[in-house]
Amino acid sequence: MPHLHIESFKPLALPLKCGDVEFLFQADYKDKHGGALIATRYKGREFFLTHKKGDTKELLKSDKITRPSPNFLIKHSLLAYAECAKLHIIDSNVDNAPENTHLKTHDALKSISYFAENFPRDREVRIEIGFGSARHLLHQAAANPNVLFIGLEIHKPSIEQALKQIVIQNLQNIMILDYDARIFLEFVPSNIVSRIYVHFPVPWDKKPHRRVISESFLKESERVLCVGGRLELRTDSENYYRFALETFSTPRQSCFDVRKNQEIAIVSKYEDRWKKMEKNIYDVTFTCEVESPEADAIGDFSFSSTSISKEAIEALSRDTYKREWGFIHVERKFTIGKEGAMIRLAMGSFDRPESNYVIIEKGTARYFPSLPVRSNANLKAHILLDELLHG
């Protein structure tokens, strides 16, 4: 990821605007290692740059939790801070290239809040999970212009290449999301998806709990699929294939079929390579046969209006607060100026935790730079956090 190695870090008097980049405030680590987070706003996006100390040089880069996409946002912000603070750069992997024209003109990249607040319902929806090179996603979108395709991917270079091709090919029916697919389905309305493509997911043979396919994922897939809609797994992994067979057999009533070495219209470069190696390719397809009720609406992430004391913040333990639905774990504490505080916490379900920042100023708490994803486990974690902060 983009970073600068610097001789020494120099804090700025914030808030401050440096060209078209705004630096809002600085949060300092409350531990012996030192360092800081610099709240940054650029092109309508808010995120943290992070400063870390070292023995011979110091590091300035993007915070991984709030990291925006595309990388140009990070690069430009790093260079803006270095220029304004007159930092001496020892080495870096940050170039000064202008923003990619193709990425500059697209609006296909969406945030999870876009889908959580108002999921598009005006046409048929298909979802591809882990689209990689995006060959299949782009081909399907070009062949089906009246269908909305939502592509999920967490690999930043793959996202940027897909966005570039969307603009080059002038495709108006693709939305891209950098998000965990296992959680995403919670925000999809029932009975509106016609296809869910999971092509060549990471097998995770040593960590099977990290696989996309699971009993809970299958349950959510069945809810969001329309009657006759399909969940299509395509894999070269013998282990994943057998795991999927077992998982798809779990429901009391289910309909699925298996095919081996079937040709499809478009394949990835990896599939081409595997075919040359004469590896078997398996397709396991689950077909939805039932209509599902709408998912229950959940609450919001507002904090109680009573003032939060410094003692309550200090009392927050670094231990994990475990409940049957999930947990809260305070990972780090920060100071903001003389009176403000901030905490970074992991929260939510055990198998799908999420990290968030909470700022406490003048006795009032708020999330930054965005609210947690509106999952049921996150809401319960928020309620527990509110109780801990307010005694």
pLDDT digits (tens, 9 = 90+) for 10-30: 999 999 999 999 999 999 998
- Name the H helices within the chain: 71-84, 101-105, 112-117, 135-143, 156-168, 181-184, 215-224, 238-248, 269-276, 310-315, 376-389
CA R_g for the chain: 23
pLDDT at position 47: 97
pLDDT at position 96: 73
DSSP code of 348?
A: E
Pair 87, 154 in one domain: no
Pair 71, 186 in one domain: no
Pair 124, 265 in one domain: yes
Three-state SS at 305: coil
Pair 88, 115 in one domain: no
Q: Please report which confidence band the pLDDT of residue 275 belongs to, taking 50, 70 and 90 as the band edges.
A: confident
pLDDT at position 357: 97
Pair 162, 35 in one domain: no
Q: Is the pLDDT of residue 105 over 70?
A: no
> Does residue 117 sit within a domain?
yes
> Does residue 236 sit within a domain?
yes
Q: Is the pLDDT of residue 278 over 90?
A: no
Pair 127, 182 in one domain: yes
pLDDT at position 127: 98
| Mean pLDDT of all residues in 215-235 | 94
pLDDT at position 34: 78
The full length of the chain comes to 391
Q: Is the pLDDT of residue 98 over 70?
A: no
Question: To the nearest whole percent, how much of the chain has pLDDT over 70?
Answer: 96
Three-state SS at 384: helix
> Does residue 302 sit within a domain?
no
> Does residue 46 sit within a domain?
yes
Q: Is the pLDDT of residue 103 over 60?
A: no
Q: What is the rounded distance in angstroms from the CA atom of residue 227 to the CA atom of residue 291?
A: 6
Let me know: does 354 contact 346? Beta carbons within 8 Å: yes
pLDDT at position 173: 96
> Does residue 342 sit within a domain?
yes
> Does residue 352 sit within a domain?
yes
Three-state SS at 148: strand
| Mean pLDDT of all residues in 90-114 | 75
* Mean residue pLDDT across the chain: 90
User: Among the three residues 72, 92, 112, which one is the final residue of a domain in this structure?
Assistant: 92
- b/e map of 151-183 (b: 16 or more CB within 10 Å)? bbbeebebbbbbbbbbbeeebebbbbbbbebbb
pLDDT at position 141: 97
Most confident segment among 53-62, 168-177, 272-281:
168-177
- Number of separate domains in the chain: 3
pLDDT at position 101: 60
Identify the bridge partners of residue 311 per DSSP, sorted by sequence position. Answer: none
User: Among the three residues 59, 92, 125, which one is the final residue of a domain in this structure?
Assistant: 92
Pair 137, 279 in one domain: yes
Domain assignment of residue 19, given as a range: 3-92
Q: Is the pLDDT of residue 32 over 90?
A: no
Q: Please report which confidence band the pLDDT of residue 102 belongs to, taking 50, 70 and 90 as the band edges.
A: low
Pair 128, 267 in one domain: yes
Q: Please report which confidence band the pLDDT of residue 297 belongs to, taking 50, 70 and 90 as the band edges.
A: low
pLDDT at position 245: 92
| Mean pLDDT of all residues in 71-86 | 94
pLDDT at position 107: 82
Q: Please report which confidence band the pLDDT of residue 270 belongs to, taking 50, 70 and 90 as the band edges.
A: confident
> Does residue 299 sit within a domain?
no
Torsion of CA 363, 365, 368, 372, to 10 degrees: 170
Q: Identify the weakest region by mean pLDDT among 132-141, 202-211, 271-280, 362-371.
A: 271-280
Pair 111, 147 in one domain: yes
